[in-house]
Amino acid sequence: MWWKEPVTTLKGVGVKKAAELAALNIFSVGDLLEFYPRQGAYLDYAKLKTIKELDVDNSKQIFKATVYQVKNGYGASRRSYTSVTVRDETGYATLYFFGGQRYKAQKLKPDTVLQITGRVRQGRTTKSVSEVDVQPLEQDEGKTPGIVPVYALSGNLTQKNLRTWISEALRLAAEDLPESLPAKVVSQCNLPDRYTALKNIHFPESWEALRRAKQRFVFEELFLLQCGLLYYRQQSHDNREGIKHAADGALVKDVMQGLPFELTAAQQQAWREISLDMQDKKPMHRILQGDVGSGKTVISALALAKAVENGYQGCIMVPTEILAAQHFETLEQYLQPYGVRIALLTGGMRAKARRELLLNLELGLVDVVVGTHALLEEDVRFANLSLTVTDEQHRFGVEQRARLSNKSANAPDVLVMTATPIPRTLALTVYGDLDISVMKGRPPQRKPVRTLCYTDERRREVYAGLVRQVQAGRQAYVVCPLIEESDVLAVHSAQRVYEELKRDFLQDIPCALLHGRLKGAEKDAIMSSFAAGELKVLVSTTVIEVGVNVPNATLMVIENAERFGLAQLHQLRGRVGRGSEQSYCVLLTAADSPEALARLNVLHESEDGFYLAEKDMEQRGAGQLFGLKQHGLPDLRIADIMRDVDVIAQVRQLAQAQLRTPEDWAEIRRLVEMQFGERFNMIFNT
Ligand code: ADP
Ligand code: MG
């Protein structure tokens, strides 16, 4: 098929050009056709003005002119700039470049024809243009009217190269091009067919045709991603019979009534959803997304109780030994008074105790087991497992969850819990194979954490405050972004902060340094002794971000807070405010720009992790969002998860409605593989 042939099969593409295309990730003719122009950068020659026609109202305009001369100079406040005078048949204009832009301007050669955008005002002698963007135009450009694509380039490639080769590839496509969406979806959603869309995204007949083409490709990408996720779900779960639990019985009610608090509205809602799922024959696949401190553990206790009262076993897997120990303690309090037999399984257990526990599990003499990865071992077997819970799920891969769920002859109900707040739209994509329950906010009795933001000058003051907290019997965390000293960045590494604190403030106070390079057992030992209150201050890198609960810790100091995203800062802050005392989170920052401070101030204003995650995404893009990388979301070519919110909701419904018969599934599998190729396995097996 021509689509898969190397680009060198096209006329004019030799080995050298092919290498330059490879730098853009273009290898085959198909890759070339899917190399969409830079959106928002098409040229419309019908709209190009002459210099004389330019308005001088400081509005953004676009025109074509030739470079006349390039000069350097100093502005009013001795700010250096580069000016480029350009001309056409109707007059002269001067373009002004500052800062990093100057370099590009200095390289412009006289007589180069440019397409120029910028804000135009009347200068002293000529029209002056600021906020300039220039594109060199090639010889014959601008002579033919119409909308012309602009591509991102590499090496010595020219716009003309790409336009020529893509036209050539489009000629092949005209004769034979497979559709990449099910035909009924194309017609139902009134999308342009694939060839028309490809043609118009590269060489639009009109702005409207371009809009429709782009809409189709955004739709296509998101639809197939969604289908892939559904496909994965169907593949990995549907072979075994599910387990039907009865409506909430005596044990669930007892556990609920025994709680020292009332469930919040959010918890009740989440419990209803989970409870109904468990009562369904279809296996549950649900993610409980709860903000830090929203009270997820008690929900897992109810679900485990429900499994047990139906005569089954349940298990809960967590990423670290210390968390396992904590959950075990908590769940024991909730469940044991009503006769539930609960046990803890960790990697560090003695062989004899382990053997005994495994035997009891297999005989059904243990109802609930709490554990780490140790649960995944081959020899851990259950008598009749009906529920698996995974806490802090981003620490486990899909494959690990599957291994746990395979420990039952039937398909157990699967509940995964995460404290990574991801905006709903994004969650629909990332967790496309899971139903979602969300718990926002925190239980009412719990005081909000007071968040303060200071510049570095006040560090010693903050440390003095830390000493006072410790003297009052509380504990504190100090978190630093990096472990290694870096001269360039001058980041306070955990090591340096630790030494400084020890020397100047905490001479007689037990404290420890915790970082990712320590062995698992060392980390656990430090965490346990902090949890036990023996260590008063924990200086650490971000390894503490996951789930530990030390109610006596009331102060969280975060060094170089400007280096963290809002969502991650919020996650860190969630480590305090877990007891009855007022807690504080102090953000120290080396940045003193108003923007940096304003950004951090958002944390002072909000304790809503979902809101903060959304802000984070606005500020830094979805790719930077904390916790997202672990989910293996593929890079999208043209869709944008923030912008295309509505499309995501639409494709999710459509994808579900489409996939009915085995033939549907087979077709979708083919289309998903065509779209994501090699990435397919990577996406679905993370
Ligand atoms: P997370 O969702 O971060 O895992 P936890 O389950 O550890 O949160 O709960 C945080 C704290 O809130 C615990 O100390 C728990 O006892 C308490 N808690 C949970 N639900 C409620 C509630 N409805 N009312 C009051 N306190 C609650
Ligand atoms: Mg938790």
Question: Which two structure tokens, joined as six digits, stand for 591?
Answer: 């940045």
Ligand 1 close to Cβ of residue 421 (< 6 A) = no
Ligand 1 close to Cβ of residue 289 (< 6 A) = no
**CATH number for region 250-279+295-418:** 3.40.50.300
Ligand 1 atom showing the smallest separation from residue 298 Cα: 6
- Residue 650 — pLDDT band, cuts 50, 70, 90? confident
Answer left, alpha or beta for residue 311, where phi above 0 means left and psi between -120 and 50 means alpha.
left
- 430 vs 284: which has the higher pLDDT: 284
Which sign, positive or negative, has the C-alpha torsion 293, 491, 477, 594? negative
Tens of pLDDT, residues 284-343: 989 998 888 889 999 999 999 999 999 999 999 998 888 898 899 999 999 999 999 999
Residue 521: predicted pLDDT: 80
CATH topology of domain 49-141: OB fold (Dihydrolipoamide Acetyltransferase, E2P) (2.40.50)
Answer left, alpha or beta for residue 490, where phi above 0 means left and psi between -120 and 50 means alpha.
left
- Give residue 450 CA to ligand 2 midpoint distance, Å: 21
- 111 vs 682: which has the higher pLDDT: 111
Phi, psi of 295 (to 5 degrees): 95, 55
- Residue 678 — pLDDT band, cuts 50, 70, 90? low
Average pLDDT, the chain: 86
476-491 average pLDDT score: 65
Ligand 1 atom showing the smallest separation from residue 262 Cα: 23
CA distance 298 to 602: 30
Collapsed DSSP state (helix, strand, coil) of residue 455: strand
Tens of pLDDT, residues 38-89: 887 787 777 778 899 999 988 878 888 999 999 998 877 778 899 999 999 9
Answer left, alpha or beta for residue 254, where phi above 0 means left and psi between -120 and 50 means alpha.
alpha
Any idea which residue has 């405010």 for tokens? 577
CATH class for the region spanning 450-606? alpha beta
Say if CB 511 and CB 537 are below 8 A apart: yes
401-429 average pLDDT score: 82
CA of 391, nearest ligand number: 2
- Give residue 549 CA to ligand 1 midpoint distance, Å: 10
CA distance 234 to 227: 10
417-445 average pLDDT score: 77
370-396 average pLDDT score: 89
Residue 210: predicted pLDDT: 94
| % of the chain beyond a pLDDT of 90 | 44
| % of the chain beyond a pLDDT of 70 | 90
HSE-CB at 667 with a 13 A cutoff on CA atoms is: 16
- Give residue 298 CA to ligand 2 midpoint distance, Å: 9
Residue 548: predicted pLDDT: 74
- Give residue 292 CA to ligand 1 midpoint distance, Å: 9
| Residue (of 598, 588, 576, 583) closest to 460 by Cα position | 588
Statement: residue 451 has pLDDT above 90:
yes
Say if CB 60 and CB 117 are below 8 A apart: yes
Ligand 1 atom showing the smallest separation from residue 439 Cα: 2
CA of 298, nearest ligand number: 1
100-109, 197-206, 232-241, 351-360: segment of lowest average pLDDT? 232-241
- Residue 686 — pLDDT band, cuts 50, 70, 90? very low
- Residue 555 — pLDDT band, cuts 50, 70, 90? very high
Strand partners, 587: 453, 558
- 292 vs 282: which has the higher pLDDT: 282
- Residue 487 — pLDDT band, cuts 50, 70, 90? very low
Ligand 1 close to Cβ of residue 290 (< 6 A) = yes
Say if CB 400 and CB 376 are below 8 A apart: yes
Statement: residue 379 has pLDDT above 80:
yes
Return residue ranges of the chain for CATH 3.40.50.300: 250-279+295-418, 450-606
What count of other Cβ atoms lies within 10 Å of the Cβ of residue 491? 20
CA distance 121 to 127: 6
Statement: residue 632 has pLDDT above 60:
no
**Best mutation site among 334, 390, 440, 446 for ligand 1, i.e. most ligand atoms within 8 A of its Cβ?**
446
Residue 240: predicted pLDDT: 81
Question: Which two structure tokens, joined as six digits, stand for 276?
Answer: 């109904």
- Give residue 609 CA to ligand 2 midpoint distance, Å: 14
- 385 vs 485: which has the higher pLDDT: 385
Residue 26: predicted pLDDT: 92
HSE-CB at 255 with a 13 A cutoff on CA atoms is: 26
Residue 568: predicted pLDDT: 83
Any idea which residue has 């469940």 for tokens? 335
Say if CB 172 and CB 29 are below 8 A apart: yes
Residue 546: predicted pLDDT: 60
In this structure, the strands spanning 342-345 and 368-371 are parallel
CA distance 610 to 439: 10
Statement: residue 544 has pLDDT above 70:
no
- Give residue 443 CA to ligand 1 midpoint distance, Å: 7
CA distance 430 to 67: 49
CA distance 499 to 518: 17
Residues with CB under 5 A from ligand 2 (ion): 547
Tens of pLDDT, residues 10-22: 998 999 999 999 9
Residue 533: predicted pLDDT: 93
Question: Which two structure tokens, joined as six digits, stand for 87?
Answer: 């001309």
Ligand 1 atom showing the smallest separation from residue 296 Cα: 2
Ligand 1 close to Cβ of residue 149 (< 6 A) = no
- Residue 490 — pLDDT band, cuts 50, 70, 90? very low
- Residue 608 — pLDDT band, cuts 50, 70, 90? confident
**Best mutation site among 297, 416, 437, 550 for ligand 1, i.e. most ligand atoms within 8 A of its Cβ?**
297
Ligand 1 atom showing the smallest separation from residue 294 Cα: 2
Residue 251: predicted pLDDT: 97
Residue with CA closest to ligand 1 atom 27: 443
Residue 310: predicted pLDDT: 97
- 131 vs 211: which has the higher pLDDT: 211
